[in-house]
Amino acid sequence: MKTDKRTGHFFAFFRRSLQKLSEKDQVLILSLAVGIFCGLASVLLKVSIETIHHSLTSWFGGRFNYNFLYLIYPGVGMLLSMLFVRYVIKDNIGHGVTKVLVAVSKNESKIKPHNMWSSLVASSVTIGFGGSVGAEAPIVYTGAAIGSNIGRKMGLSYKNITILLGCGAAGAVAGIFKAPLAGVLFTLEILLFNISMSSILPLLLSTVSATVISYLFLGDSLPFECTLSPFTMRNIPFYIVLGLFSAACSIYFTRTTLWLEDRIKSIEGPFTRWFFSAACLGLLIFLFPPLYGEGYDSLSVLLNGREITFESKTVLGFFMNTPWTIPLFFLLILLLKVFSMSFTNAGGGVGGTFGPTLFVGAVAGFVLSRTVNLLFGGSGLHVPEQNSVLVGMAGLMAGVMQAPMTAIFLIAEISGGYELLVPLILTSTISFGATRMVEQYSIYTKRIAKKGELLTHDSDQAVLTLLKTSDLIESDFTPVKIDATLGELVDAVSESSRNIFPVVDTRKHFQGYVSLEDIRKDMFKKDLYDKMYVYNYMKSSPEYVYVDEKMVSVMKKFEKTDAWNLPVVDHYRTYIGFVSKSKIFSAYRNQLREVSHD
């Protein structure tokens, strides 16, 4: 108890001391702290996954002696994760990057405190037991939650909480990959819709501190050490083809993932869904061991050009006894990784698509380069397969995440492959451009874009997304009944400060409106007070606005009707109030100032 009190006193003292500074200076100091915490979280996640994985598989040995456990392990991990989320957390913590985007656009960058640790626990168990997903999205969600909650605890404004949220996400990427520049670019391209040069300094402080922590605890080795061949200009046509192939794989990856997850989640009952997913996932991993866990061990083989042997690891080993069966085997892995990932996530596991994107990209690069070498190797044409594996990772990232700059520099940082910048840029650019022609949104943003909840780098669109119709309703109008007399209407006018009067029926359903201008010529003729009724003066509204309608849609209605005020109703057409252009413009200006980072 004494320790808790001392800790509480320390944080109170720290907060008071920090609040003496300007918010800008507070953010700089806090971004450093956020980076340190995110680095520690990244280390904890990696160590947890590796410890669980090692304890479960290190004693495997001999021909197929224990491979049957591949049928069981992933399902056990998914079940433990599902029980933890369902009965301990009682909250949906999957699809971390998408959740962060929604938090920025809909929840004022506020993320629940439990997300600072719950994703770590659930994803460690899921991936450690062999769930075929990545650890990157959970750590991004964790980092963003750390930044968000520190900002809220310090009482910062929305824009500075958002910056710290971005610092957390950037620090998480930097910590998990030891890639500070990629962490900054990830936040700029994917998460933060509107950030100025002055706000990049906190991001840099966060990523550098997280990377240092990662190096201190995990050593100075690169995450994807590889043996590369020098880049030659004659291979440029191949990298162009690889860019197009990456785009095709990206479209397949995105569409299949979203479709398959929706289909699996339509299965009624969480335990039925888990059993189906666990059985399918176990069978896939039993037949194709590289699908186990993140699959980075298999990538190490491809990146260093080592001999590919699966004879002692899969019952399909007999199949891989000719040169052509190896690229065919990996083509099947490329296609099935999406299924194993979707079974894991939809069946109750917690993980992301970031790692599987890297995995599929690496396999795509290998399959294409091995195929080209088998077809044309006799004529003297040879494509370095290790280079292709690395560049393929960037190509898939650029297409699936639609973040080419992040893809280019992340792959260069995690492999030390800066000499491949030309093919990295070429393949990533082509993949991004070709994918964007077919898919407007990334795998992270497609679902929320359909709901109208996506913030974009278009400032106008972003501000409108942040505005909520329910916050802009004016309810000080005086409703009148449709069968009320002119006299009753005049009484309502005398008591109101507005010149518009909504007309409702006995069930308070909106019927139309009467303006002061409409009754001006009759309102002083007392002989008409009992002869004329509200319905004699009522006009129909050109459009209705629904209380939960997106502001982008509301603005389109104002533009279409050229109205200055529009009635707001619920889905039963019950009258709620009015929303006006002037109120929207005022809120727009305030929101624009709030999100501006200068």
CA gap 218, 229 in Å, rounded? 27
Closest CA to 316 of 293, 302, 333, 300: 333
pLDDT of 77: 93
Q: Which residue has the higher pLDDT, 284 or 68?
A: 284
pLDDT score for 362? 93
pLDDT of 7 strictly over 60: no
Q: Report the amino acid identity of residue 272.
A: T
Q: How far apart are CA 359 and CA 339, in angstroms?
A: 13
**Nearest to residue 159, comparing CAs of 194, 184, 186?**
194
3-state SS record for 529-553: CCCCEHHHHCECCCCCEECCCEHHH
pTM > 0.85: no
pLDDT(21) > 80:
no
Higher model confidence: residue 457 or residue 565? Answer: 565
pLDDT given at position 198 = 66
Mind giving me the DSSP string for 353-404? SHHHHHHHHHHHHHHHHHHHHHHHGGGT----HHHHHHHHHHHHHHHHT--H
What is the fold, at CATH topology level, of the domain defined by 18-218? Clc chloride channel (1.10.3080)
Mean pLDDT of 159-182: 91
* Mean pLDDT over each residue of the chain, to the nearest integer: 85
Are 539 and 474 a contacting pair, CB within 8 Å? no
**Paired tokens of 416:** 């030390």
* DSSP-assigned states of every residue in 207-227: HHHHHHHHHHHH-S--TT---
Q: Is the pLDDT of residue 324 over 50?
A: yes
Q: Which CATH superfamily is domain 468-595 in?
A: CBS-domain (3.10.580.10)
Distance CA 289, CA 274 (A): 21
User: In which residue are the tokens 């874009």 written?
Assistant: 449
What is the distance between the alpha carbons of residues 143 and 33, in angstroms, rounded to a whole number? 11
Q: Which run of H or E residues covers position 280? A: helix 270-287
Q: Lowest mean pLDDT of 99-113, 294-308, 458-472, 547-561, name the range.
A: 458-472
Q: Are 446 and 439 in contact (CB under 8 A)?
A: yes
| pLDDT digit string, tens, across residues 486-511 | 888 888 888 888 888 888 888 888 88
State CA 552 to chain mean position distance.
21
Helix ranges (DSSP H) in 416-533: 421-438, 446-450, 459-466, 486-495, 516-519
The per-residue pLDDT for range 188-238, each reduced to its tens digit, is 888 765 566 667 899 999 999 999 999 999 988 888 888 888 888 888 999
* d(C-alpha 39, C-alpha 443), whole Å: 26
Q: Of the ranges 10-24, 420-434, 463-477, which one carries the lowest mean pLDDT score?
A: 10-24
**Residue-level pLDDT at 363:** 94
Angle, helices 2-18/23-57, rounded to nearest 10 degrees: 140
Contact assessment for residue 436 and residue 400, using Cβ atoms and an 8 Å cutoff: no
B/e letters for 366-385, b = 16+ CB within 10 Å, e = fewer, are bbbbbebbeeeeeeeeebbb
pLDDT at residue number 398: 94
Burial category of 331 from C-beta neighbours within 10 Å (exposed 0-12, middle 13-18, buried 19 and up): middle
Give the separation between CA 369 and CA 246, rounded to whole angstroms: 12
Checking if the pLDDT of 72 tops 60, the result is: yes
Q: 401 is written with which tokens? A: 């995440």
DSSP SS3 for 348: coil
Residue 8 has pLDDT above 70, yes or no: no
Cα(332)–Cα(330) distance, integer angstroms: 5
CATH of 233-463, one of 1.10.3080.10, 1.10.645.10, 3.40.309.10, 3.40.720.10: 1.10.3080.10
pLDDT of residue 443: 87
Band of residue 64 on the pLDDT scale cut at 50, 70, 90: very low
Q: What is the mean pLDDT of residues 427-436?
A: 95
Q: Is 312 a residue whose pLDDT tops 70?
A: no
Express each pLDDT in 249-262 by its tens digit: 999 999 999 999 98
DSSP string, 80-115: HHHHIIIIII-S---SHHHHHHHHHHHSTT---GGG
Tens of pLDDT, residue by residue over 80-92, are 999 999 999 988 8
| pLDDT of the residue at 252 | 96
Segments making up each domain of the chain, as ranges? 18-218, 233-463, 468-595
- Greatest mean pLDDT among 47-56, 102-111, 297-306, 547-556 lies in 47-56
Lowest mean pLDDT across 46-60, 228-242, 580-594: 580-594
- Name the DSSP letter for residue 350: -
Q: Given this model, what pLDDT does residue 451 score?
A: 67
The pair of structure tokens assigned to 129 is 């037991």
Nearest-angstrom CA–CA distance, 536 and 379 = 90
In CATH terms, are 18-218 and 233-463 the same topology?
Answer: yes
Structure tokens that stand for 41 in this block: 């979280």
